[in-house]
Amino acid sequence: MDILTLELFDVTVSEALREVSRVLDAHPGLPLRILLGGDRMLQHNIQRFLDRAGRTAALRPDGSGWRFEVARSGALGTGPRAAGPTAVIPAAEAPVTLLAPVSAPVPRPLLITRSQLGQGSQDIGRRLLLGVLRELDPAVPWVGLALDGVGLLDDPEALGLLEALQARGTPVRISRESQLFPLEQAGFEIMEDSRWQRLAGRGELTLL
């Protein structure tokens, strides 16, 4: 059986998903092998896209990179298949404006440790902080509240924004050491502080 191979190196998440969609639409009856690097955000987004498309996929290491083995549409089971010729499909040529490599930073988790920005007007500082929540990139893995940031839960507007983030798929987590009252009714996760402290120690956390 033929196996299509799609190479996704040096592409953005949106470019990668567009190419996967193009190949799945063009060859729904064939299994697909997707070769890519170690970008965890890219791997996560491709896995979610394949899950929504109903395509069974397994991520495996492949030399210095990784590969997705995607079963053909409607395939039953994931048992071994007879090896067949492999057709390599490079990513479609991007528009001229995208030919130069694009280096987009992967969004980091956000930990809010204050109930307002700056040391000036409390009202202005609070509005500016809430503006950060409104403009938060959906790719941010999660939002945490610690120290004075937990005070945002007493603000109905801030609480509404946090609940909206949670509803769209961005988890909101509360520092266990900073918890002021039971939060089960808000549906927010209580987070062990070692979790964000470890990320902060590696420079992998945005602190406000």
Question: What is the three-class DSSP state of 186?
Answer: helix
Q: Report the distance separating Cα 141 and Cα 169, nearest Å.
A: 9
pLDDT on residue 157: 84
Q: Report the distance separating Cα 91 and Cα 8, nearest Å.
A: 7
| The pair of three-digit structure tokens given for residue 205, joined into one six-digit string | 């956390």
Strand partners, 66: 36, 61
Q: Report the distance separating Cα 171 and Cα 200, nearest Å.
A: 18
What is the pTM (predicted TM-score) of this model? 0.47
Average pLDDT score, the chain: 76
Higher pLDDT, 206 or 116: 206
Mean pLDDT computed over 10-23? 85
Mean pLDDT computed over 174-180? 79
| The pair of three-digit structure tokens given for residue 139, joined into one six-digit string | 């790719």
**Percent helix, percent strand, percent coil in the chain, to nearest 5:** 35, 20, 45
Backbone phi, then psi, for 141, in 5-degree steps?
Answer: -60, -40
| The pair of three-digit structure tokens given for residue 27, joined into one six-digit string | 């060859």
pLDDT on residue 118: 67
Whole-Å CA distances, 17 to 48, 56, 151, 166, 187: 10, 16, 39, 24, 31
Residue that has been written with the tokens 């009202």 in this structure: 123
How is domain 3-92 classified at the architecture level of CATH?
Answer: 2-Layer Sandwich (3.30)
Please report which confidence band the pLDDT of residue 96 belongs to, taking 50, 70 and 90 as the band edges.
very low
Q: Are 22 and 6 in contact (CB under 8 A)?
A: no
Strand partners, 128: none
Q: Please write the tens of the pLDDT for every residue from 32-67.
A: 888 888 888 888 888 888 888 888 888 888 888 888
Please report which confidence band the pLDDT of residue 109 belongs to, taking 50, 70 and 90 as the band edges.
confident
User: Per-domain residue ranges for the chain?
Assistant: 3-92, 110-207
Instruction: Say if residue 147's pLDDT is above 80.
Output: yes
pLDDT on residue 134: 83
Instruction: Say if residue 185's pLDDT is above 50.
Output: no
| The pair of three-digit structure tokens given for residue 182, joined into one six-digit string | 């039971």
